[in-house]
Structure 1
């Protein structure tokens, strides 16, 4: 991926030198990496990944600590520069698409942290993987997750990492258009298995939005190289619920899925990538996923 030399976003906050932050009260964070890291944790500590998932998706307790003023990432930090460049391109793509639809895009902030940090959704932890907090409209990422994505989850490559960022920005779009609130309200009223099914649809729509971004990004920048698209598709496939559960516990429990199967995640990312049409991403109303 020929990303170097492109515009970097001004909407990146670097908290990596601030320490862990505190616990907090807030809404549910939405993350691509939650299931993936839960499986890794289960492999390391021998804990049922479903128990880890329940803990990670429940929010924090106590009071949010005040963060120090955010800093810009160092100019010589290549990994931070990559993240800033991808975020900038999501701003360009979604800003243009929203404007053509008659609206104005409010870009999210992206927070780099190490270990843990305070958020409007509670304490953000590196164990959650990258996640989006609707309460403060920020994407949070500990960049060490990219090593996990490569070494433990079998999804290497810079465009695989770009897919992760674009997926979280997809959750921001859902927040802006009211999907996040609608889905959360539905989850609260439903039994666990049905609430999980709603979560799956939310995640698949974010995958589709990531594909829409990739479609328009490539058309304007032509910065993808041979194998890049395959990297993103491999990442979508490797973090399917069925694949992760099979690897961690040897069995698959469909009613516990919250992100979708590998085939579903791949299909919805491909749908957005091939069409470039947000109207094709209505996973919440789709009869079949």
Structure 2
């Protein structure tokens, strides 16, 4: 992705080194949280409900790689601001920029307090995206999804959740939680997450129109989308898959909806809730 030397967003809040209180503890419970909330989900269900380990504030020293990554995510955020402001304007709507919070170790949000192992997430309660830049290394090493545009996809997916909040989709989904069984609710959650993937693809389409993509970028995003499919994560974590517990969609579904957004480039093609086939 062509990002060096371009203007970043002013909506970045740097909390690295500050830590948080009541951090979710480690162990099996945390692995479950990773599977369910990775790249979005609804962290409000899990954040702040684990064991209280107290404050985890530690001294933070920014490395050269961290500095470059911070600049990169800021530029990507700025690109999403431009794209979504334009898309919303064409629909007769007004886009409100989210804030991206950089943190290290743990962080407090309106959705609760989380450790970095939860992965990047969006909190509709404060309209903020939260990311520990160490996730970039995890994306390369653990998920085998290298490349800057793989990370851009992650950010675009979380911004997709912000778009859903602004359009009222998040608000419509929440009441179903109390009305449906967990299995039935999971089906709606999958459609919700796949829509965020579609919206990430819409952003990528416009980034391409702005001549920001380089050769191999699309493949990097598709690899990342595939790497965080429920089936692949569950297979790696426990050796088998449980479709009824899926909350984000399979690797194939996540790739398909991202690519659909990338091909269409508009809001109209992303109605995952009424789609006959996912």
With over 3 angstroms needed to count, the CA separation of the structure-2 counterparts of 1:51 and 1:231, relative to structure 1, is closer
The TM-score normalised by the length of structure 1 is 0.84
Given the superposition, is the C-alpha separation of residues 23 and 181 from structure 1 closer, same or farther in structure 2, using an over 3 Å criterion?
farther
Residue in 2 aligned with 1:13? 13
The answer to whether the 8 Å contact 2:200/2:261 transfers is yes
1:113 aligns with 2:112: no
Counterpart of 2:119? 129
Check 1:151–1:175 CA distance in 2 against 1; reply closer, same or farther (3 A cut). same
Q: C-alpha deviations, 1:30-70, integer Å up to 9, x for none?
A: xxxxxxxxxxx8xxx5679447657964232599x9xxxxx
Give 1:151 shift.
0.2
Q: Which residue of 2 aligns with 1:68?
A: none
Q: Write the distance in 2 (CA, Å) between the matches of 1:283 and 1:16.
A: 36
Gap change, CA 1:241 and 1:100, over 3 Å in 2: same
Cα offset, 1:249, TM superposition: 1.4
Question: What is the alpha-carbon distance in structure 2 between the residues aligned to residue 51 and residue 171 of structure 1?
Answer: 18
How far is the alpha carbon of 1:17 from its aligned partner? Answer: 2.6
**Secondary structure of residue in 2 paired with 1:77:** helix
Contact 1:212–1:277 (8 Å) recurs in 2: yes
SS of alignment partner, residue 284 of structure 1: helix
> Is 1:256 paired with 2:255?
no
Q: How does 1:43-122 map to 2 (within 5 A)?
A: 49-50=31-32, 53=35, 57-60=45-48, 77-122=67-112
Structure 2 Cα separation of the partners of residues 74 and 267 of structure 1 = 36
Q: Does 1:142 align with 2:142?
A: no
Task: Report the TM-score when normalising by structure 2.
Answer: 0.87
Which residue, 166, 184, 201 being the options, matches 2:156? 166
Partner residue of 2:235? 246
Deviations 1:97-146 (A, max 9, x none): 11111111101000000011111000032111000000000000000011
Q: Go from structure 1 to structure 2 and tell me whether the alpha carbon gap of 1:119 and 1:47 turns closer, same or farther (over 3 Å shift).
A: closer
For the residues of structure 1 that align with 2:235 and 2:63, how far apart are their CA atoms?
40
8 Å Cα contact 1:187-1:198 kept in structure 2: no
Q: Unaligned regions of 5+ residues in structure 1, if any? A: 25-40, 66-72
C-alpha offsets along residues 57-101 of structure 1, whole Å, 9 cap, x if unaligned? Answer: 4232599x9xxxxxxx99992110000000000000000111111
Count, aligned residues? 260
Is residue 118–residue 124 contact of structure 1 (8 Å, CA) maintained in 2? yes
Bigger Cα displacement from structure 2, 233-242 vs 245-254: 245-254
The equivalent of 1:32 in structure 2 is: none
Cα pair 2:145 2:227 within 8 Å, conserved: yes
Structure 1 residues 155 and 207: CA distance shift in structure 2, 3 A: same
Taking the aligned partners of 2:97 and 2:276, their CA distance within structure 1 comes to 31
Query: Which range moves more in the overlay, 172-181 or 76-85?
Result: 76-85
Cα distance in structure 2, aligned partners of 1:195 and 1:230 = 31
Distance in 1 separating the partners of 2:109 and 2:133: 17
2:206 and 2:159 map into 1 onto residues whose CA distance is 15
- CA distance in structure 1 between the partners assigned to 2:100 and 2:244 by the alignment: 32
